[in-house]
Structure 1
Amino acid sequence: MISLRCCATFNHFAALIIIAVLLLLPVHAGANVAPQQSSHPRFHLEVAPGDWGGVSPLQVKQVLDWVAADLIATVGLQETETLQLTILPRNNVPRVLYERGVNGQYLVHLTARGDRWYQYVYQFSHELCHVLSNYDHRELTNNAYNIRAADGNQWFEEALCETASLYTLRHLGAQWQQQPPSRNWAGYGRMLEAYAEHILQQPHRHAISDANMHEWFSENRQALTDSPYLRDRNEVVATHLLQLFESNPELWHAIVYLNQKKTVASESFEQYLQAWLEACPGTEQALVERTIELLGPGAGITGKERRESQVPFSSLAAML
């Protein structure tokens, strides 16, 4: 696997050529997909009929079942209830709605079409990460036109979900290189990996080194707080987080403890991190610590040491 430090020098035109060639491969989701991936004890996924660009809802479901099984296993979700999701084709932007379906299921809109399966993997991983990180725990304001959520710290969740998309593309790509889900998918792992590398080679993602992230965050945190959808800035954070997750996949376990406190979405980023730390079991606090390391100094004090030394976590306001 190409390291992230090498991605900065990955040849742009070579990546485009690889993707163009692989798009010509006659790869289709067929009936040979392993049946256990279509029925998983921790989730139930249905794909609604509609304009999927010439492919069937069953084909889309076969791909998304694999994505859901992989990401849920990576996160280590231990739910007593089955996660219910309905996927619908829409033309605006990929998103998961705050409203639920008639059976209480999450409603996910995707814009991917046709047999560009790498786009389904990329988009659905992002939206599923929102679900797994409790996006709907935030305070909501409901008016006659739409539902709005407090979004002061949503930029971090957006960066985390971008990380999930890239991680899943590379993780599934590596798996399918060795063991494709069926003979019809032989060789498609290269496509997933090539698409991830095509995204990762964008120059802005590597413009800031680890050593300069503290200063970068200090300069950009207000803009991020004001608008969670500044993709060029979220993607800088996501690229650095990806290095952490690929070196330490167990860090994914902490995301299910994010957004547990409803009011924290509109509080300071320090309070947001404090609430996340407090929600995590001691064994799952490492991701919060690594986030503090990445975005601000003073992370040498662990969550346990903070409690024992009575150092208030809110003092991170002076650190970040």
Structure 2
Amino acid sequence: MSRTLLAFVAVVATSIAHTSLTAQETKPDNKRSEIPNYRVDATDFSASEADIRAVCDSAARQLWPLFADYELEPFVVTRGQSGPITLYKRNDRREIVVKLDTSNTLWSQYAYQFGHEFCHVLCGFREGDSSNRWFEETLSETASLYVLRGMARDWKDGPPYKHWASYRDNLREYADNVIRQRAHTREIYAKGMPAFYRDHEAQLRKTATDRELNGAMAVVLLSYFEEQPTRWEAIRWLNSLPPPAKESFADFLQRWQGAVPEKHRLFVADVAKLYGVHRD
């Protein structure tokens, strides 16, 4: 099934006329081996702090080494009860609060949720107008899949514990199941991303967390980030400036392109082309 899904993603990506992203020649410099500054509060997870930390560390390593010289605020992973979320308000220790709504030993779910929320942290999430927040949510859904698939590869030879090695199949199957369930991906395949975006623009701007729409676009974006992982670093500047009220998506992308270093500008321009909102 995995090969079939990969083939389908590739077809989706290549079938969108005039929207392919240009591969960058650069490779990550000074890849970090360390993990970001965070802690785990294991209260109410019904799992050990060490095990939760082992899963989150493995998930973080899929992305963090790609962000050279990036100093994040410290954050804490805690138990949520109403869905995973990253809070805007810092706690009393001035930490970003990341809540995961899972428990026991559902490690694939931990990884999926952590990947999503960690992406928000890397994006420099901030309060403000939410007209284009759907794009950050889509990137975060992409990160969840990217993290799971990367962990599945890593755990083949280097799991956190030797007896967890076989769990790599669960990680990959979890990602495959999510991809399989994104029915709207077939709509993108049928009409292309520009038409898909135009047809759903009003809903996206109204509801940033429409997981079916976010998830379908994430399946398409996944192949681009797996093709060139260094593209992930561009999200560091996604929220570098407060968003103007009711900003168009085209203006949002232009503002992002102006904020990133030169090495990422072509990538952001190609994202605009992917969605059919680029400026000639």
Residue-by-residue CA offset, 1:175-211 (whole Å, 9 max, x unaligned) = 1123323212111111111110011112333332186
Q: Does 1:48 align with 2:19?
A: no
Aligned residue for 2:63, secondary structure, equals helix
Looking at structure 2, the residues matched to 282 and 115 of structure 1 have their Cα atoms a distance apart, in angstroms, of 43
- Match among 230, 240, 248 for residue 210 of structure 2: 230
Question: How far 1:244 moved relative to its partner?
Answer: 1.0
Aligned residue for 1:108, secondary structure, equals strand
Q: Verify the 8 A CA contact 1:41 1:82 in the aligned structure 2.
A: no
Looking at structure 2, the residues matched to 47 and 120 of structure 1 have their Cα atoms a distance apart, in angstroms, of 12
Q: TM-score, normalised by structure 2?
A: 0.84
Equivalent residue number for residue 55 of structure 2: 63
Q: Verify the 8 A CA contact 2:54 2:160 in the aligned structure 1.
A: no
Equivalent residue number for residue 7 of structure 2: 6
Which structure 1 segments of 5+ residues have no match? 9-39, 140-149, 300-315
| RMSD over equivalenced CA pairs, Å | 2.1
Aligned residue for 1:86, secondary structure, equals strand
Equivalent residue number for residue 199 of structure 1: 178
User: Which of the pair has the greater relative contact order for Cα pairs under 8 Å at 6+ separation?
Assistant: 2
Q: How does 1:78-227 map to 2 (within 5 A)?
A: 78-79=69-70, 81=71, 83-136=73-126, 138-139=127-128, 150-202=129-181, 203-209=183-189, 212-227=192-207
Looking at structure 2, the residues matched to 100 and 3 of structure 1 have their Cα atoms a distance apart, in angstroms, of 43
Aligned residue for 2:88, secondary structure, equals strand
Looking at structure 2, the residues matched to 188 and 161 of structure 1 have their Cα atoms a distance apart, in angstroms, of 23
Looking at structure 1, the residues matched to 225 and 5 of structure 2 have their Cα atoms a distance apart, in angstroms, of 12
Number of matched pairs:
255
Question: How far 1:3 moved relative to its partner?
Answer: 6.1
Looking at structure 2, the residues matched to 274 and 246 of structure 1 have their Cα atoms a distance apart, in angstroms, of 24
Looking at structure 2, the residues matched to 116 and 88 of structure 1 have their Cα atoms a distance apart, in angstroms, of 15
Counterpart residue identity of residue 46, structure 1: R
Equivalent residue number for residue 306 of structure 1: none
Counterpart residue identity of residue 229, structure 2: P
Looking at structure 2, the residues matched to 265 and 173 of structure 1 have their Cα atoms a distance apart, in angstroms, of 41
Question: How far 1:265 moved relative to its partner?
Answer: 6.6
Counterpart residue identity of residue 116, structure 2: H
Question: How far 1:7 moved relative to its partner?
Answer: 5.1
Name which one, 1 or 2, has greater alpha-carbon Rg: 1
Looking at structure 2, the residues matched to 173 and 113 of structure 1 have their Cα atoms a distance apart, in angstroms, of 20
Q: TM-score, normalised by structure 1?
A: 0.74
Looking at structure 1, the residues matched to 125 and 190 of structure 2 have their Cα atoms a distance apart, in angstroms, of 28
Q: Verify the 8 A CA contact 1:7 1:201 in the aligned structure 2.
A: no
Equivalent residue number for residue 146 of structure 1: none
Counterpart residue identity of residue 255, structure 1: I
Moved over 3 A (4+): 3-8
Looking at structure 1, the residues matched to 6 and 90 of structure 2 have their Cα atoms a distance apart, in angstroms, of 41
Identity level (%): 31
Per mean C-alpha deviation after superposition, the further-off stretch among 61-70 and 163-172 is 61-70
Which structure 2 segments of 5+ residues have no match? 10-32
Change (3 A) 1:3 1:71: farther
Q: Verify the 8 A CA contact 1:163 1:239 in the aligned structure 2.
A: yes
Equivalent residue number for residue 267 of structure 1: 247
Q: Does 1:254 align with 2:234?
A: yes
Q: Verify the 8 A CA contact 1:67 1:121 in the aligned structure 2.
A: yes
Q: Verify the 8 A CA contact 1:251 1:286 in the aligned structure 2.
A: no
